[in-house]
């Protein structure tokens, strides 16, 4: 049985224009947090492809990653997309690090942003390329995504209307 330390997780909206009151009030410097988020994506080999940081992920008082997202007008409506990265040194390995519950909370946060856009704009769908098969399975089973394509290594493109 795997045992994990109970983690305190918080999400802070992030804007590159420097208006990050909640993040600053929690004791984090904007640019140090952005550097950690970028390093989490680099170390995870995830390229956010034109997305911007929408949320910083804090666990037990430390920025450990981020949610990058985008909202673009397409021919078939508004397309919301997101990428998530947790720094590899903070992931669950041998009982140390973040476990599945934390990942679910991170995905819940990304999906809450999607739902806000749907409520605001109406015609919004979510399109995700999941490089992690476990995340792809969670998006399907928990959030009702449909798998459009997948590769032998478990990567998949998923969509939710």
CA distance to 1, 137, 148, per residue, from 154 (Å): 25, 9, 12
Q: Is 72 exposed, middle or buried (0-12, 13-18, 19+ CB in 10 A)?
A: exposed
* 47-63 pLDDT tens trace: 998 999 999 999 889 99
What pLDDT, on a 0 to 100 scale, did the predictor assign at position 154?
A: 83
What pLDDT, on a 0 to 100 scale, did the predictor assign at position 98?
A: 58
Looking at residue 122, which CATH number applies to its domain? 3.40.630.30
CA distance 97 to 110: 21
CA distance 141 to 37: 27
For 111, the domain range is: 9-160
Please count the structural domains in the chain: 1
* 59-118 pLDDT tens trace: 889 999 999 999 999 998 999 999 999 988 877 654 445 567 788 999 999 999 999 999
**Band of residue 11 on the pLDDT scale cut at 50, 70, 90:** very high
Residue 1 placed within a domain: no
What pLDDT, on a 0 to 100 scale, did the predictor assign at position 68?
A: 97
What pLDDT, on a 0 to 100 scale, did the predictor assign at position 81?
A: 98
Q: Is 143 exposed, middle or buried (0-12, 13-18, 19+ CB in 10 A)?
A: middle
Residue 3 placed within a domain: no
């Amino acid at each position: 049985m795997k045992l994990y330390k109970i983690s305190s997780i918080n999400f802070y909206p992030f804007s590159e224009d420097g208006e990050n009151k909640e993040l600053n009030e929690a004791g984090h410097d904007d640019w140090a947090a952005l550097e950690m988020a970028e390093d989490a994506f680099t170390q995870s080999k995830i390229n956010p492809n034109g997305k911007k940081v929408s949320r910083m992920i804090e666990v037990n008082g430390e920025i450990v990653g981020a949610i990058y997202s985008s909202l673009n007008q397409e021919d078939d409506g508004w397309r919301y997309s997101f990428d998530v990265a947790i720094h590899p040194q903070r992931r669950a390995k041998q009982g140390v690090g973040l476990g599945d519950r934390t990942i679910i909370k991170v995905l819940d946060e990304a999906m809450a942003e999607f739902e806000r856009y749907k409520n605001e704009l109406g015609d919004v769908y979510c399109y995700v390329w999941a490089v992690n098969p476990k995340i792809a399975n969670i998006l399907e089973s928990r959030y009702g995504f449909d798998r459009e394509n997948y590769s032998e290594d478990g990567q998949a493109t998923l969509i939710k209307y």
